[in-house]
Structure 1
Amino acid sequence: MNPFGFTRICGSKVRVAGVLALVLAIGSFGCGIKSAINTAVATVDARAADAIHSLDNAIAKLAEESADWRVVVTNLEKEISADVQSTIRTEVQDIARNTILLAGAEFRCNAEFMRIRLRRELTHLRNSLAESLNAILARRSISVPLLPEESPEPFICSVAPSGVDMSLDPDRRAKIDIYGFDLRSRPISAGITGYGIFQAKAPVSVKVFSTLMRTRARAVMPAKVIVTDAFELLQPTTIMIKDISNALSIISDFHAVLDLTESGADIPPTAREIVLSWDNQTKSEIPILTHEKNLECTTTEKVISPGTDTFVPPAVENSPYGGHPDREFDGHGPCVTFHLVVNLDPSRRILTATYDIDAWECPDDFAKIKKDYTEALGSRTITLFQAAEDERILSYNVQSSFDHRYIDTNTRPDIMNFGGLSPVEELEYVGDTDGSEAGTKTSVKVTFRQIKLQIEKCQYR
């Protein structure tokens, strides 16, 4: 029931199919058929449940950025039966065979690649095993939940060069190589941030721009337009993003190139950094080094109180476990998971929070879902703060992600408090009630902690 897992119907049902064949063979002996079948089913239940439990632990461990995938695999193979071990070894070998061996600074990228892709493949295996077990348990009131599918997203490991030095000749700073994996999985946006909209009939170097700004700026600032003989600068006090996504070429899943020539990104002298993003979230920032001080910047601290937000996730109408669930948890939990991520948009002006909640009917066990599979599941994004047009958010003092889970045991609201650097100060859950609740009453009320922001404001000298 983790909203950030994976799912696939794949070919790891051989072991369970073998046990089913054994059950059918037992039937040919006539006597003690029911007892023999029950024994065989109980055996496969136990073995499959143990394997799923071990896989769940490994998958959870691989979700941690610091996890060593080799240690996780070694420990997993010690815990599970030999036939499943061989499948896992095959998965690991397939991943390793497809890994591009990047040298030096990219070594950590290799480890990240293995950790993330192995987690995905183990979840495929785990879900397939769970589906096989659920087929055997079809007449019982308990099923093993599947881990919902998570779409792959790009992962940027490193860029070369690490910054764009504008003092170099253009032919010595013609491109940026971007290394990572799954770079084709989602559209990647590239943009150049800077103050104002730069317009010129001919290329203007950073040095010429600085000279002209020093001689003309004081006479016209503040102004909506700065005009010189060589260029015009519109809205000079507003942070702008110039879209240069057309200059980005995805060479492979592991390599992309950003063209910085005049026919590509054509970096203006007002540029401060290149931002790579997807899903409107900043993922990588590449500094642009000008060696000229054209802006006067001040940094101030601002404390914001985002307050509270209440969300009622919609009820699941068609369950992957079968049928159309009712909306009554009926004292069976629900089991609830909550995940929140804090993000900055590419302009660094808008701070948002996206959170997911999943509440499902369970028998006091996160590893199980109970018939008739009542569930409420949904996601929500809210704006925590939006800076002025001439400001940007440099940093914030809370953690960028937060996770919590609990099992409801009553029909009253449950309040949980959190300290430290958590972005969440309090969660108030409504799980089960006295009547039907999924999609109408089951909810979460999020109280956000006060957040300290570092706000930068710049203007041309």
Structure 2
Amino acid sequence: MISGCSIGDKIDKATDTVSDITGDTVAALDNAIDALDRNSSSWQTVLQETTQKLTTDAQSTVRNEISDLLNRSVAATGTELRCNMDFIGSRVRQALVRIRARLLHQPIPPVEPALCHVVPAAVDMALDANRRNKLEFFGYDFDTTPIKVTLQDQSRTLDVSSHLDRLTHYHMTLNLGANGVPISSASNRLTLEWQDRPISSIAVIQPATPVCEEKDEPISPRAYLSYTPPHTRGDREYSGNGPEVWANARLINEGTHINFRLWMKAKETRSDWTTAEGEKIISYYSAPSGYRIDRIVAGYAESSAHYVDTDHNDDRQGGGPNGPVKEFVFRGDRSGDDAGSYTGVDVYFNPVIVKLVKVANCAPASAIKSLQIKDLISPTTIKRMQPMMFRLQPQP
């Protein structure tokens, strides 16, 4: 009996130690995620500081994961990738959220590949074959999930994924040479797909390929969006200790539609650090039939807010004319339970304008300009297309 109690005590102490280490690890991950929410371009410093905080042997697995993430992200900033630091920081934050979810045995968000840059932006068949023998794709997380490539001809769509070579997680090449994708005079375009959704389309410019028509489309703002993030930590009651609140709203261009992603976190400033955190993604706009969304042209695609709640009143924060959100209206602390049932935000929207490009057997003007800069388009093609570009995009 005495021996059994002794063993039980040891097990309890070991369990408490594991729980403490897990709590410390989660706290370090939370602090890193919070830091990236405040300044996503500081991802390199954040990752370095986080690895230094995870010092025990029991934390070595997570420490190694974060070290690998740091090396992976640093590598992805080189060559022609040129994804901006905020983009890299956003991907780093997503990776840290997945590490935390796995540690807490929570559902792990999927890893979606992201494309930043394609070289060349289109394939000019008037060029010598040796100057158009490959496509290069630069982005992030190309190694985490299958990516499909199709070639669209006048009468068929052909899967050419076997000619795609993943050199690194951020760099892929598509062989267009003699033993590669069978591009011909009948080819119209190449398309990259992920989970049956197009993520990039590359025009094949033939002697009669026109410049794609473009137009600006104003989007009327939604009335508002209300969101109450779920309770994730503590006893649900802020008890006058804040909370400290962060929010980020972003328009995400998916090509055929735009999603609106709203993230909010409200964290108690002391005690047991009661927290509500989560995100909501809604469909915000769909392109009309026959068009794709090239870019968001009016206002910035992101809005954010950060403050510390000091009373039981609603708080109007952030927003403004330069972003998708005109105003955030937060509900923070009140008498009684807060996190998961009361704490939340109402979002009021600004109008937005998007650039639409006609989807047809045509080459976008932006792709033609990119080819000119890189000297990857023939003088004959430029001469033929310049009048069309001038007519479709008159200069002020």
TM-score bracket, shorter-length normalisation: 0.5 to 0.7
1:258 aligns with 2:174: yes
Map of 1:429 onto structure 2 = 330
Read off the aligned partner of 2:324 and give its amino acid letter.
P
1:453 aligns with 2:354: yes
> Following the alignment from structure 2 to structure 1, what is the Cα–Cα distance between the partners of residues 175 and 217?
38
Task: Check whether the contact 1:109–1:157 (CA below 8 A) recurs between aligned residues.
Answer: yes
- For 1:168-247, what aligned pairs fall within 5 Å after superposition? 168=127, 173=132, 175-179=134-138, 182-190=141-149, 198-199=154-155, 244=159, 246-247=161-162
Residue 356 of structure 1: how far off its partner (Å): 1.9
Secondary structure in 1 aligned to 2:154?
Answer: strand
Map of 1:406 onto structure 2 = 307
> Following the alignment from structure 1 to structure 2, what is the Cα–Cα distance between the partners of residues 260 and 455?
29
1:355 aligns with 2:262: yes
Residue 166 of structure 1: how far off its partner (Å): 2.4
> Following the alignment from structure 2 to structure 1, what is the Cα–Cα distance between the partners of residues 74 and 333?
49
Read off the aligned partner of 2:294 and give its amino acid letter.
L
Count residues with an aligned counterpart: 336
Unaligned runs of 5+ in 2: 1-23, 362-387, 389-396
* 1:55-114 per-position Cα deviation (integer Å, ceiling 9, x unaligned): 85995499544x695x8899x69xx99x99xx9x99999779889979984486899999
1:386 aligns with 2:286: yes
Read off the aligned partner of 2:222 and give its amino acid letter.
G
> Following the alignment from structure 1 to structure 2, what is the Cα–Cα distance between the partners of residues 121 and 343?
18
Residue 340 of structure 1: how far off its partner (Å): 2.2
Task: Check whether the contact 1:61–1:72 (CA below 8 A) recurs between aligned residues.
Answer: no
Read off the aligned partner of 2:154 and give its amino acid letter.
F
Cα distance, 1:103–1:395 mapped onto 2, change above 3 Å: closer
> Following the alignment from structure 2 to structure 1, what is the Cα–Cα distance between the partners of residues 212 and 352?
22
> Which one has a bigger Cα radius of gyration?
1
> Following the alignment from structure 1 to structure 2, what is the Cα–Cα distance between the partners of residues 457 and 344?
16
1:306 aligns with 2:206: no
Question: What's the % identity of the aligned pairs?
Answer: 22
Unaligned runs of 5+ in 1: 1-47, 132-147, 201-241
Residue 427 of structure 1: how far off its partner (Å): 1.4
> Following the alignment from structure 1 to structure 2, what is the Cα–Cα distance between the partners of residues 391 and 416?
36
Cα distance, 1:170–1:380 mapped onto 2, change above 3 Å: same
> Following the alignment from structure 1 to structure 2, what is the Cα–Cα distance between the partners of residues 250 and 282?
18
1:336 aligns with 2:245: yes
> Following the alignment from structure 1 to structure 2, what is the Cα–Cα distance between the partners of residues 427 and 304?
20
Cα distance, 1:355–1:333 mapped onto 2, change above 3 Å: same
Residue 426 of structure 1: how far off its partner (Å): 1.3
- For 1:270-281, what aligned pairs fall within 5 Å after superposition? 274-276=190-192, 278=194
Map of 1:288 onto structure 2 = 203
- 1:443 aligned to 341, 344, 349, which one? 344
> Following the alignment from structure 1 to structure 2, what is the Cα–Cα distance between the partners of residues 188 and 442?
40
> Following the alignment from structure 2 to structure 1, what is the Cα–Cα distance between the partners of residues 227 and 319?
21
Map of 2:123 onto structure 1 = 164
Residue 425 of structure 1: how far off its partner (Å): 0.8
TM-score for the superposition, normalised by structure 1: 0.52
> Following the alignment from structure 1 to structure 2, what is the Cα–Cα distance between the partners of residues 279 and 338?
29
> Following the alignment from structure 2 to structure 1, what is the Cα–Cα distance between the partners of residues 240 and 79?
53
Read off the aligned partner of 2:227 and give its amino acid letter.
V
> Following the alignment from structure 2 to structure 1, what is the Cα–Cα distance between the partners of residues 340 and 179?
53
TM-score for the superposition, normalised by structure 2: 0.58
Task: Check whether the contact 2:333–2:343 (CA below 8 A) recurs between aligned residues.
Answer: yes
Read off the aligned partner of 1:412 and give its amino acid letter.
N
